[in-house]
Amino acid sequence: MKNKISTSIILDTRRVLKDGKYPVKLRLTFQRKQKYYQAINDRGEPYTYTESEFTKVRDSKSRGNHKDDNLSLIAIESRALSVIEKLPVFSFETFENKFLSSNSKDDVFAAFRQQINQLSKEGRAGTASSYDCAYRSLLDFTDRKTLLFSSVTVDYLKSYEKWMIGVGKSITTVGIYLRALRAVYNDAIISGEANSELYPFGKRKYQIPAGRNIKKALPLNEIEKIFNYEPVHDGEAKARDLFVFSYLCNGINVKDIARLKYGNINDNQIVFVRAKTERTSRQNLKPVVAFITPVAEQIIERWGNKPRENDSYVFPILIKGLTPEEELAKVRYATKAINKYIKRIASAVGIEKNVSTYTARHSFSTVMKRAGAPMEFISESLGHSNMKTTESYLDSFEDNVKRQYATQLTAFTSVKE
């Protein structure tokens, strides 16, 4: 059966890239079915060439960098053949499991690439993108093609944190990237690729910094200013309305707004499962229930798709048939557009804060807190799986409230000369 499996390194000219080049891929053919696998270099970057460049690279008389690339491509095909030979029964799935993990033993960067590939296959484009950013940052800092898990020590992590701050990154970004590294390390321990005794994270070792929760919520009077703002064009009008819609509907984020379908609406309620938790909390999925106020209904009527069919998206942000990567791109574009105009609106009404789509979510939770809503209600409304996450969303009291308390503390005294 294995004799019927053919492999080849090809230039995939079916779709040209933005720079005019094409990706190099390993092509497997089995029982008239073909599958393609991206050829990746030691830095985790895809090989791409023009047709003339690829011809030079694959020339047996190639020299210099072309020769090095050709040897690397030959090694990729040889590794694929080796994996195939060791499989008792071939299937594309078993081949992928072995081939994509065969070079990740004790190598952090290879393990990252494997995890990013798996996240992409699962359709988790946003998480894959976040892991890819962490991977490339660590790659730049380390400045080597490989990084052993045993080399990720407390000193290494402290040096990385210092380097990140030195190049202008925030503590929040450091935390995001190192939590991705920690997750990759934990998976490597479970699979036997890393030694648990060398684990560098935890108490009395290296503790990942937590970014300070910068105040994001707006008080009611500032939300009212945005609500009453008269937009000068449709871009501002749509941004204002979607910001208000988010605030009124339990702080729903842009991705979940984009994914809303009319089938989610019933009896003046919107019932949906957050995209962020639908894969990570499958055993205990908690749908979010938001009541549709008259204002929210007006926003749907003003900007919603027509006709209102159960399987149609409510708002014209997504269309059917998108890949996860395409969906992510459209959500990011919509978020960018809303943020662009809502910042202008905030400035126009005299709000001296960095207002964004996240502000609507934080404002919802904080206003609920001011109104005396139980923490459990706020947590359920936000779709959080634990109370600690909810607590991080709740804003500190506004400055005028703090000032009132401070005044009471000194009410019984007088200023002495």
pLDDT band at 412 (very low <50, low <70, confident <90, very high): very low
Dist. CA 201–CA 161, nearest whole Å: 13
Residue 369 near residue 396, CB atoms below 8 Å? no
Share of the chain above pLDDT 90, in %: 48
Task: Look up residue 136 and give its two tokens.
Answer: 């490339």
Query: Omega before 307 cis (within 30°)?
Result: yes
Dist. CA 240–CA 184, nearest whole Å: 40
Residue 268 near residue 291, CB atoms below 8 Å? yes
343-381 pLDDT per residue, tens: 999 999 999 889 999 899 888 888 888 877 777 777 777
Tell which wins on pLDDT, 217 or 239. 239
- The Cβ of residue 333 has, within 10 Å, a number of other Cβ atoms equal to 11
Residue 403 clears pLDDT 60, i.e. is over it = no
- Counting other chains too, the contacts that 209-214 makes at CB distance below 8 Å and 24 or more residues apart are 209/161, 209/171, 209/174, 209/175, 210/171, 210/175, 211/170, 211/171, 211/172, 211/173, 211/175, 212/171, 213/392
pLDDT band at 167 (very low <50, low <70, confident <90, very high): very high
Tell which wins on pLDDT, 105 or 88. 88
pLDDT of residue 54: 94
* Burial profile 217-229: b = 16 or more Cβ within 10 angstroms, e = fewer: bbbeebbebbbeb
Share of the chain above pLDDT 70, in %: 86
Highest mean pLDDT among 1-10, 98-107, 172-181, 408-417: 172-181
285-311 pLDDT per residue, tens: 678 888 899 999 999 999 999 999 999
pLDDT band at 2 (very low <50, low <70, confident <90, very high): very low
For 244, residues 6+ apart whose C-beta sits below 8 A from its C-beta are 226, 227, 295, 296, 299, 360
pLDDT of residue 62: 85
Range name among 68-72, 80-84, 175-179, 192-196 with the lowest pLDDT average:
192-196
Mean pLDDT, range 103-125, rounded to an integer: 83
pLDDT of residue 124: 85
**Which DSSP string do the residues of 245-271 spell out, in sequence order?**
HHHHTTT--HHHHHH-BGGGEETTEEE
Sign for the CA dihedral angle at 159, 163, 169, 173 comes to negative
Dist. CA 273–CA 385, nearest whole Å: 12
Helix 357-370 and helix 234-248, axial crossing angle in degrees, nearest 10: 40
Domain boundaries, the chain: 1-90, 103-212, 220-402
* Burial profile 296-314: b = 16 or more Cβ within 10 angstroms, e = fewer: beebbeebbbeeeeeeebb
- The Cβ of residue 37 has, within 10 Å, a number of other Cβ atoms equal to 18
Record the pTM.
0.63
Q: What is the CATH number of domain 103-212?
A: 1.10.150
pLDDT band at 121 (very low <50, low <70, confident <90, very high): confident
- Counting other chains too, the contacts that 277-283 makes at CB distance below 8 Å and 24 or more residues apart are 277/383, 277/385, 279/122, 279/124, 281/385
Grouping H, G, I as helix, E, B as strand and the rest as coil, residue 8 is strand
Average pLDDT, the chain: 85
pLDDT of residue 362: 86
pLDDT of residue 408: 52
Residue owning tokens 């990729």: 76
Dist. CA 251–CA 232, nearest whole Å: 25
Cα-Cα-Cα-Cα dihedral of 209, 212, 213, 214, to 10°? -150
Record: fold of 220-402: hpI Integrase; Chain A (1.10.443)
Grouping H, G, I as helix, E, B as strand and the rest as coil, residue 124 is coil
pLDDT band at 155 (very low <50, low <70, confident <90, very high): very high
Dist. CA 113–CA 121, nearest whole Å: 12
